[in-house]
Chain A
Amino acid sequence: MPEPSAPEAQPQKDNLGEKILGFCHDQYNKTVEFAFGKQVYVPFTDRKVSRPELWLGLPVASAFITSAITEIPIIMLGVASKGELFSQNPEVAVGLGLLAAAGGVGVGLAAATGIEVMSGIRTMSEKVAAKLHEKAKKRYEKAKQILGKDEEKIMGPGLTRGVKAVRDFISGQNNK
């Protein structure tokens, strides 16, 4: 009868060592961040931004997001009332449409600026950010359809220039 082979010696679990190693890795990462600055990729733009850029973008993004959130119900009202109100009270529909357009622009800008910030601080996954971007784009297009006019007539030259500047900036970053 063959003798049973001796069980292989298992290395002893070293929880303490692993815990300290975890601390060392964390310390190393923080040091790299301190020494060279942390940079993160921004989805859709194929570029990296540094932490100071993100912090600068945050108040701007939150202002736009707040404005966009308050405008969303108005957009919905504008869309829902299109058929009935537009035939009977065109001035109401135009008024709602103007607000909706502003809301659309607000959401668009919030998405443009917010995506960078939110992705940078990693509170939003790329997938969710993409959905927000898509939603904002649709709302903006819808708002434009309601009025059937060009951007400058809807928003005035000042706001149009601002939106164009943001678009050009993002498209410039995409092409880098």
Chain B
Amino acid sequence: MVRIINSYMNKSIKDFLKTLLDKMGINPQNQEEIIKTFTGTLTVTMLGVLTKSIPEEKQKELGEKLASANNWIEILSKEAVELGEKEEIVKNLNEQLKVKIDELIDNLVTECPKEKRTEVLAYVESFSK
């Protein structure tokens, strides 16, 4: 579970986005904000999926544990796997994260100026292979 989360949160997605935004000519300040906001979206997506996988009666107890911790994702992952259906959680997590990434890429490609679109699309395709 943690490995899957890390694969989304590690540098690859940030590097991918940075290169893409560079190719589109977005200024560094906006690049940083876009990546920060998008990383936040992925984190909230994960928290949402994991929280929903934990039975309601356990959530209060878990909430108290999270209140004094920094490593939310790790704690939630561990609890979700112990208390929920592991395969179902991984499936939901993958689906939700993919939806968010696809949404962003769709938006980037749509908004991309025509003269840069071919290059941007080629980069997206090379990355997804």
Contact = CB atoms under 8 A, between A and B. Distances in A.
**Chains A and B are bound partners:** yes
Interface residues of B, number: 28
Contacts of A14: 26-27, 29-30
Contacts of B13: none
A25 B37 contact: yes
Contacts of B41: 24, 27-28, 31
Contacts, number: 69
Interface residues of A, number: 19
| A contacts with B: majority SS | helix
Given A20-B30, A31-B45, 4 more contacts: A16-B26, A23-B104, A27-B100, A31-B100
15 contacts: A16-B113, A17-B30, A18-B30, A20-B26, A24-B38, A27-B38, A28-B37, A31-B45, A31-B48, A31-B100, A34-B48, A35-B48, A35-B51, A35-B52, A36-B48
Interface of B: 21, 24-27, 29-31, 33-34, 37-38, 40-41, 44-45, 47-49, 51-52, 100, 103-104, 107-108, 111, 113
Ranked nearest first, the 10 interchain pairs of A and B with the lowest CB-CB distance are A35-B48, A17-B30, A17-B26, A24-B37, A14-B27, A28-B41, A31-B44, A23-B107, A31-B41, A35-B44
